[in-house]
Amino acid sequence: MVQTGLKNMMSKINIHNEADVMVISVNNPPINAGSTEVRKGLLDAIQALQNDPNSSAAVIIGAGNTFIAGSDIKEFSQPLAEPHLPTVISAIENCSKPVVCALHGAALGGGFELALACDARIALEGTVVGLPEVTLGIIPGAGGTQRLPRLIGVEKSIEIICAGSRIKADEALKLGIINKLVKEDLLGNAITFARSLIGQKIRIRDVSTPSVEASTVLAATQKALKAGKNRPNIHKAIEMICNAITLPIDQGLAIEREVFQELRVGTEAKALRHQFFAERKLFKALGSDEQKPKRIEQVAVIGAGTMGSGIAIACLSAGYIVLMLDQNEAALENGAKKVADFYDSRVKSGKIAAEKASTILKNFTYSSQWADIASADLVIEAVFEDMEVKHAVFQKIEEYASPEALLASNTSYLDIDAIAAKTQNPSRVFGLHFFSPAQVMKLLEIVRCKFTAPSVIAASLQFAKRLGKTPVISANAFGFIGNRIYAAYRRQCEFMLEEGAYPEQIDKALEDYGFAMGPFAVADMSGLDIAWAMRKSQVGTRNPEHRYVNIPDALCLAGRFGRKTGSGYYEYLEGAKKGVVDPFVHKVIDEASATKGIIRREFTSEEIVNRVLFAMINEIAHLASEKVVSDVTDCDVALVNGYGFPRWCGGPVFIAQEMGKDKLNSEIDALAKLSGPGFIKANLDGLFE
């Protein structure tokens, strides 16, 4: 039997025997992360198995709700402590007794690599397995790129590893990744399975990688690189997987580990870890028992336009009962059709079963009658961006909605406190700023107003979580978080137009850096007239001494509102997916520079990118000092999830912190000189707290 002293040594690993089978249980809640303690405990347990004459086989299982759902990512920023995972895996493979992995919940990353080292894998229905390391800028580092191809082939391994996919247990069974799938009594079934293997070792390392045509590998490689944005770690992952064909496994494992260690300490991996932790803390408040948020099941969306119908779809897909209200019958019918068409297209493309779409749509109603919102737990106003219109809508909402309902405004810029001030109970009013298309975009800004109750914010976080959104909480301030930063970014790009750059050069520099789209392509897509209307409304409050670029106004006066009019910063030929350079735009820009007496100059891509980054960093520092954000890393989350900032660059806050305060101060000072009147340098201390 296992010695009691060994049990006490391993607080994260529990051991007991079921007759001749040793049960090794990982107990490191909440996700049984493969920390140093866990690795040490597993290694001790395998050594105990080898030396215990009463144990003929073992089962490794996770306590609680999951198997090992990944490594302890905090350790990745430090030198990894012994024993490393490959040492544990080697001990399992070299143990003379069979080891079965019993999987439930999730077996991801190092947890899945551990499972691949075992002689068999049995899983409970609903389990997911996968190697998501590429999402953190690294590759599997404990044999994933060598063992998985031996099981399922190189082509499928490239697809799964390079996408960081999570594979459901039934699919894993079909692929041969797991040996058995059970509906209940995972441990009992695993013990029986382990007994059937006594006297055998079935190691994946002893299996030959299936042969594959070079053309098949090339096609899988090209597809993976395109989906993976051609990032260095994707290239390396493919190279390692292909080594499983050409190299002995020990050589392949050694190279894989070396590459993993190099990538782990690189800037890109560090940036992605920064983003990972910034996103992980977003729902932290929900772990507190201080606030019991209101349960939301029925949602009323006011406004049946593009945004209203998108919000309705997002809520329906999350399982909410949804009413969409609009008093314009034609708009209402059109909005309802958009909702129905969305699910119809999902069914036709095979992304959703017809039965599921039908069930979802049974939860959808639409109406022009205000009385129908009475049963809603949450009312989301998504009407035209005009304060008087919104005041009138909220007056109606208060008249007909339940006194217990939460009331949200979906606005990009308007003062929600001014809306709340005209309600009888401002404590239930807050902002939910969705991004278009609302059913697709991950970012959701939750706006905390002056009198919003903490329980309302907690409820909105629960709502965002159920929607599958990435929420950031903002104080009520013009532009909130994302649009405020984006305005500073766009303004700097307009300055560069005056100084010598052209739209296509700026867009290309930023897209090459990693932005999903350049600012002028984005402006054309969203419509130049929208920002123009806002600028016209601010004429009376704009300081005439501040630098103002009138190039966008000149394009609007020429009737160039972007894609919808066939021209904006670019010309859009019929049927073309992208705009083309238009000499007329260059002429407008050249004339604007000449009018101000600006001598145009050449710009490098590096200067363009740096001007944008430092403008963003300065604006984030303003947001921090004004207490618009409580954590500056929320700004990085917002830019990555809502504005196409490259995730692998971490975000402006990450870049600032890596640069250091002294160099950043110098760069912002230089930017202030280039930007001229109106640029206000922020106190940068808030970026480093």
Residue-wise pLDDT for 455-476, tens only, equals 999 999 999 999 999 999 999 9
3-state secondary structure (DSSP) of residue 17: strand
Q: In this predicted model, which residue has the larger pLDDT, 575 or 174?
A: 174
Residue 72: what pLDDT? 83
Q: Are residues 494 and 604 in the same domain?
A: yes
Average model confidence (pLDDT) across the chain: 94
Between CA 55 and CA 198 the distance in angstroms is: 10
Same-domain pairing of 424 and 527: no
Is residue 299 scored above 80 in pLDDT?
yes
Check: CB of residue 506 under 8 Å from CB of residue 496.
yes
> What is residue 70's predicted lDDT score, i.e. its pLDDT?
85
Q: Assess if residue 237 is contained within a domain.
A: yes
pLDDT over 70 (residue 362): yes
Residue owning tokens 């300081």: 543
Exposure string (b/e) for 599-610, b if CB count within 10 Å is 16 or more? eeeebeeeebbb
Task: Say if residues 98 and 121 touch (Cβ distance below 8 Å).
Answer: no
Is 113 a catalytic site residue? Answer: yes
Does 520 share its domain with 436? no
Whether 311 maps to a domain, the answer reads yes
Output the pLDDT for position 288: 61
Does residue 689 carry a catalytic annotation?
no
Is pLDDT of 241 > 60?
Answer: yes
Task: Indicate whether 73 pLDDT > 90.
Answer: no
List all residues 6 or more positions away from 309 whose beta carbon is below 8 Å from its beta carbon. Answer: 324, 335, 336, 338, 339
Asked if residue 274 is part of any domain, the answer here is no
Do 532 and 628 lie in one domain? The reply is: yes
Q: Answer yes or no: is pLDDT of 112 > 90.
A: yes
Q: Which among 479, 502, 527 is the end of a domain? A: 479
Same domain, 206 and 302: no
Residue 551, in any domain of the structure: yes
Asked if 489 and 645 count as a contact pair (C-beta separation under 8 A), the reply is no
User: How many domains would you assign to the chain?
Assistant: 3
State how far Cα 181 lies from the chain centre.
31
SS3 180: strand
Question: Tokens for 97?
Answer: 């007794």
Residue 598's domain comprises 483-687
Q: Give the confidence band of 3 by pLDDT, cuts at 50, 70, 90.
A: very low
| The domain boundary residue, chosen from 433, 456, 479 | 479
Residues 451 and 497 in one domain: no
Residue 278 lies in a domain: no
178 pLDDT more than 90: yes
Evaluated on CA atoms 139, 141, 144, 149, the torsion sign reads: positive
Tell me, yes or no, whether 670 and 601 share the same domain: yes
Give the contacts of 15 (CB within 8 A, at least 6 positions apart).
2, 6, 7, 22, 23, 24, 25, 45, 48
In the chain, the percentage of residues whose pLDDT exceeds 70 is 98
Domain harbouring 198, CATH code: 3.90.226.10
CATH of the domain at 437: 3.40.50.720
Does the residue 545 lie in any domain? yes
**Which whole number is the average pLDDT over 209-215?**
95
Q: Residues 48, 85: contact at Cβ < 8 Å?
A: no
Mode of pairing for the β-strands spanning 57-62 and 21-26: parallel
**H/E element holding 313?**
helix 306-317
Last residue of a domain, which of 432, 450, 479? Answer: 479
Pair (401, 493) in one structural domain: no
CATH code for the domain of 630? 1.10.1040.50
User: Do 62 and 205 reside in the same domain of the chain?
Assistant: yes
pLDDT given at position 284: 81
Same domain, 158 and 252: yes
Asked if residue 585 has pLDDT above 90, the reply is yes
For the segment 391-416, the average pLDDT, to the nearest whole number, is 94
pLDDT digits (tens, 9 = 90+) for 486-503: 999 999 999 999 999 999
Residue 594 shares a structural domain with residue 622:
yes
The verdict on 455 and 498 lying in the same domain is: no
C-alpha distance from residue 185 to each of 123, 170, 547 (Å): 10, 17, 70
Residue 642 lies in a domain: yes
Is position 638 within any domain? yes
At 540, the pLDDT band (50, 70, 90 cuts) reads confident
Give per-residue pLDDT as tens, 605-628: 999 999 999 999 999 999 999 999
> What Å distances lie between residue 157 and 148, 153, 172, 359, 628, CA to CA?
6, 6, 12, 35, 45
pLDDT at 193 over 70: yes
CB 165 within 8 A of CB 130: yes
Band of residue 7 on the pLDDT scale cut at 50, 70, 90: very low
Catalytic pick from 133, 268, 398, 494?
133
Q: What is the mean predicted confidence (pLDDT) over 94-109?
A: 97
Catalytic residue from among 18, 82, 93, 113: 113
